[in-house]
Structure 1
Amino acid sequence: MSMRDASLPPRLSPAGVVYTAATREAPLLADFAAELAARGWRVGGLVQRTFRGPDGFKRKIVATEIDTGRTVTLATYKGDRAKESVCGFDTAALAEATGAVRRAVAAGMDLIVIEKFSRQETDGEGLLDEILGAMAEGIPTLTLVSAEALEHWTRLTGGLAQLVAAERKALWRWWGPHRLYRDLELGVGRGNARHVVVGFNWVLVEGPHGCGLAQTPDRGSAGSRRVADAAHLAGRPLRELAAKVHSWEPVEAAIGLAAINAFYNRYDLTAPTGNGLDAVAGEAPLTVIGRFPDLAERLPGARVIERQPRDGEYPDVAAGWLVPESERVVATASTLVNHSLPGLIATAPHARIALVGPSTPLTPRLHAYGLDTLAGMVVTDPKGAARAVAEGGSVRTLKAYARMAMLSDPS
């Protein structure tokens, strides 16, 4: 792995979403696939939908190819009240539809969805070959598994696949917080960087519709090396600069995050004014990752974790047992630059997590990864902010050229 591949996510185990009679016809996988595709991820495979008549009995089962949207009728039913008997399962149609899975494997998609693993698959038919074939290629694979076929599924997959609850949040936990960097990058649209400033405390990237900030790594650290393409950053596409967020070199990662924020933290962003620390006041048990000004007065009783702890604070190694037991976690947005945020989210899958600081990307994309509160900064005076960054200004200095904004997850 190169120095520029820091935040490439770990390999994702295949997953089976266990369904019962109450959840078997919910469009959970179809909705998840559509949501990822809308964000820019490459998703392929097949989803199914059962159609019922006015009497509530099945009429047909239709498969939809995710990449083309083409539909194929796999089975038709009599709709007999005495018994939902199959008039005919079209094996030729199924064979044709499986081409969507083969195309997805050949293209090396980010995710392959294959719905579903049930009675036919336990008999060695249906979509079994396609499910196992996609898994064998190492591509993240997601399928529905009936509760009755669970034992057979576990045996066929050798216990290597994860079992996931039939819930949207559970699917996102499986997808994993390590993919949030790529997700942010995928969302950055067209436009070039007009101005790039790497200052003593902050990095600033100005785009056509917004100005992004990211905290500069500590001086004297390994991240304080020269920027390889300095003097050639302004004028380049924001998406190209945003890709630097994946770098192990902290200054490059900060430039990437600032470019991301130049797109999301737009001048015209509609968001309530608010401070993330005030939003969590009074909640407990509360753990704070990173030191914030006046923290003791604003959040009395909070457990503070710092890499260089002061009296009353905890070292970063304490996060392993303090974070999992916390109902509320507040993290400084600098955890995005040092790539510790995904691991933090993973250790607290059920906690409510707030990301706070000028480096915070103000985009609802992050809510799905477990961040319910996003408190950041929208620059209102790009020239003034650039001057403040170039002259080594602090957060307090930047506030004269920006407004505080906060996004909360409505769910």
Structure 2
Amino acid sequence: MAIATVTASGGGATDRLLSDVVARLQGQGFRIVGALRHVAVDGMAGHCDSDLWLLPDGPAARITQQLGPGAQACRMDAGAMEEAAGLASSRLSEQGADLVVLNKFGVSEAEGRGFRAMIADAVAQGVPVLIGVSQTHRAAFERFAGGLSEDLRPDAETVFDWCRKAAHRTPAQSQNSAMEIPK
């Protein structure tokens, strides 16, 4: 099973790291499905409003809801989250992928929903999975993965190298697959 986690310190750091690595991999022709948390132009991921960019080419899915001023309840829109997970899962089934990348194993996944089924499907298909995991949900992820995941150091080169190796592609293969072949 090729599944790896990454946890970077600081608000939005894991989101930025994963976005950077995915952009580099896509630039080299890797077929990636999954979801990344939208990182704003200022480099910060929104705290109150959360959008997921569905890989490889969108759309953005708003997974939070407006509850009104002073609301204290969870802002997660469970229906929107499940819809986003369903779309990403169908892309994996219909298009295949070299790699699945998900911004995080969060509350939905810890409770058995969200992208959890997609992670299991990818592993069953032999597609490597890279996922952000916070300390808050680390124990739930470990129970889910059964100790079969690898924790990566949170730097771009380490994560990129793991992705390339897990997808069984060398830099030369990546460059060749990104080239257009004339018909």
- Match of residue 41 from structure 1: 30
Contact 2:15 2:36 in 1 (8 A): no
SS of 1:116's equivalent? coil
**1:166 corresponds to 2:154:** yes
CA pair 49-187 structure 1, distance change in 2 beyond 3 A: closer
- TM-score, length of structure 2 as denominator length: 0.78
CA distance in 2, matches of 1:164, 1:188: 30
State the partner residue of 1:91.
Answer: 78
Match of 1:123 in 2: 111
Q: Residue 28 in 1 paired to residue 13 in 2? A: no
Deviations 1:239-259 (A, max 9, x none): xxxxxxxxxxxxxxxxxxxxx
Instruction: Supply the distance in 2 between the matched residues of 1:79 and 1:22 (Cα, whole angstroms).
Output: 24
- Alignment pair present for 1:62 and 2:81: no
For 2:177, the equivalent position in structure 1 comes to 186
For 2:4, the equivalent position in structure 1 comes to: 15
Q: CA deviation at 1:172?
A: 1.8
1:148-163 equivalence runs, <5 A: 148-163=136-151
Q: Secondary structure at the match of 2:37?
A: strand
1:72-94, Cα deviation, whole Å (9 max, x unpaired): 100146797xx994563222222
CA distance in 2: counterparts of 1:122 and 1:150, whole angstroms: 9
Tell me the alpha carbon deviations over residues 282-310 of structure 1, each in whole angstroms, 9 at most, x when there is no partner.
xxxxxxxxxxxxxxxxxxxxxxxxxxxxx
Q: Secondary structure at the match of 2:6?
A: strand
Q: Name the amino acid aligned to 2:177.
A: L
Q: 2:112 is aligned with what amino acid?
A: G
Post-superposition offset of 1:104? 1.8
Number of residue pairs aligned between Structure 1 and Structure 2: 175
Relative contact order, higher structure (CA 8 A, sep 6+): 2
1:144 aligns with 2:132: yes
**Identity across matched positions, percent:** 23
Alignment partner, residue 92 of structure 2: 104
- Larger displacement relative to structure 2 (166-175 or 17-26): 17-26
2:121 paired residue among 130, 133, 143: 133
Aligned 8 A contact 1:47 1:65 in 2: yes
Counterpart CA distance in 2 for 1:175 and 1:90 is 31
Say which one has the larger Rg. Answer: 1
CA displacement at 1:168 relative to structure 2: 0.5
- Aligned counterpart, 1:218: none
5+ long unaligned stretches in structure 2: none
Equivalent pair of 2:38/2:51 in contact (CA under 8 Å): yes
Could you tell me which runs of 5 or more consecutive residues in structure 1 were left unpaired when the two chains were aligned.
Answer: 1-11, 192-236, 238-411
> How much has 1:28 moved relative to structure 2?
1.8
Indicate the structure with greater helix content. 2
**Secondary structure of 2:58 counterpart:** coil
Q: For residue 172 of structure 2, what is the amino acid of its counterpart?
A: Y
1:185-224 alpha-carbon deviations (Å, 9 max, x no partner): 2255557xxxxxxxxxxxxxxxxxxxxxxxxxxxxxxxxx
Structure 1 residues 120, 84: closer, same or farther in 2, change over 3 A?
farther
1:66, distance to aligned residue in structure 2 (A)? 1.2
Per-residue CA shift, 1:231-284, capped at 9, x if unaligned?
Answer: xxxxxx9xxxxxxxxxxxxxxxxxxxxxxxxxxxxxxxxxxxxxxxxxxxxxxx
* Alpha-carbon displacement from aligned partner over 1:133-176 (angstroms, at most 9, x marks no partner): 22222101111111222222122112221111221111123124
Give the direction of change, closer, same or farther, for the CA distance of 1:105–1:140 in structure 2 (3 Å limit). farther
- The letter of the residue matching 2:113 is E
Residue 63 of structure 2: SS of its match in structure 1? strand
Q: How does 1:2-401 map to 2 (within 5 A)?
A: 13-24=2-13, 26-49=15-38, 58-76=47-65, 85-86=72-73, 88-98=75-85, 99-176=87-164, 179-188=170-179
**Separation in structure 1 between the aligned mates of residue 93 and residue 18 of structure 2, nearest angstrom:** 18
**Preserved CA contact (<8 Å) 1:20 1:146:** no
Change in 2 beyond 3 A, CA 1:189/1:86? same
Change (3 A) 1:23 1:72: closer
- Report the residue type matching 1:41 in the other structure: F
Q: Quote the Cα distance in structure 2 between the aligned partners of 1:50 and 1:31.
A: 11
Deviations 1:336-391 (A, max 9, x none): xxxxxxxxxxxxxxxxxxxxxxxxxxxxxxxxxxxxxxxxxxxxxxxxxxxxxxxx
Amino acid at match of 1:60: D
Structure 1 residues 50 and 78 mapped into 2: Cα distance closer, same or farther (>3 Å)? farther
Moved over 6 A (4+): none
